Amino acid sequence: MTIRFEGRVAIVTGAGGGIGRAYALDLARRGAKVVVNDLGAARDGTGHSDAAAAVVEEIRAAGGEAMANGASVTDFEQVQEMVGKAKEVWGGVHVLINNAGILRDKSFAKMTMDDFRLVVDVHLIGSANATKAVWDMMRDQNYGRILMTASSTASTAISARPIMAPPSWRSPGWPRRCHWRAPSTMCESTPSPPSRARG
């Protein structure tokens, strides 16, 4: 049985590369209209690029529909605007994949509290911002799917990445709670592939 998403609109945060790009391309291949959200920053969250636009071009070249969006998930107003644009153009949002993340690959001794706050802002607060922005719409349309991408670092002791553990726990409690509070709107979580820590 092939899962299809015709008539559905999906937002994928952090979709300019990596697993986010893969989510966006596969959703489009299965018929969804996709909002490709990405700042285009490097893995540590610095800089900007046209990564989202490049993924949109890939989707369009394959016959799909997509739009690029550069909202920062840490800014609730920007996220609301992104959701509003999707609704204006395509009528709603049916799927949200909270995938945006950054990496400050430092030991506890070398990390700063600013590093820690930024990672938490992107991973935890960013996921909450995006989820809150779509929640009422999904409830009102009696349909919604929310997926949280989390790192295996959350459940393993990797000394080089203590900064990643707390924000990587963005998913375990949310899926059950979301489903319990809104049976018609389901949240799911998926771990990202294990990665090797670097010194």
Query: Which pLDDT belongs to residue 156?
Result: 55
The verdict on residue 23 lying in a domain is yes
Q: At a CB cut-off of 8 Å and minimum separation 6, what does 150 contact?
A: 168, 169, 170, 171, 172, 189, 190, 191, 192
Separation between Cα atoms, residue 134 and residue 131, nearest integer Å: 6
Q: How many CA atoms lie within 13 A of 191 on its CB side?
A: 12
The verdict on residue 121 lying in a domain is no
The verdict on residue 196 lying in a domain is no
Query: Which pLDDT belongs to residue 115?
Result: 85
Separation between Cα atoms, residue 117 and residue 196, nearest integer Å: 23
CA gyration radius, the chain: 16
Query: Which pLDDT belongs to residue 154?
Result: 54
Query: Which pLDDT belongs to residue 152?
Result: 63
The verdict on residue 2 lying in a domain is no
55-73 pLDDT tens trace? 999 999 999 999 999 999 9
The verdict on residue 3 lying in a domain is no
The verdict on residue 162 lying in a domain is no
The parent domain of residue 85 ranges over 9-105+126-150+171-191
What CATH number did the domain enclosing 132 receive? Answer: 3.40.50.720
Mean pLDDT, 10 residues at a time, the chain of 199 residues: 91 95 97 94 62 96 97 96 98 96 76 87 93 95 91 56 50 48 48 40
* Phi, psi dihedrals of residue 148, rounded to the nearest 5°: -110, 125
Separation between Cα atoms, residue 172 and residue 28, nearest integer Å: 27
The verdict on residue 14 lying in a domain is yes
Q: How far is residue 116 from each of residues 90, 170, 195, measured CA to CA in Å?
A: 37, 15, 20
The verdict on residue 116 lying in a domain is no
Separation between Cα atoms, residue 92 and residue 76, nearest integer Å: 18
Separation between Cα atoms, residue 122 and residue 102, nearest integer Å: 7
Task: Please tell me the total count of domains within the chain.
Answer: 1
Query: Which pLDDT belongs to residue 109?
Result: 79
Query: Which pLDDT belongs to residue 111?
Result: 82
Query: Which pLDDT belongs to residue 44?
Result: 54
Query: Which pLDDT belongs to residue 103?
Result: 77
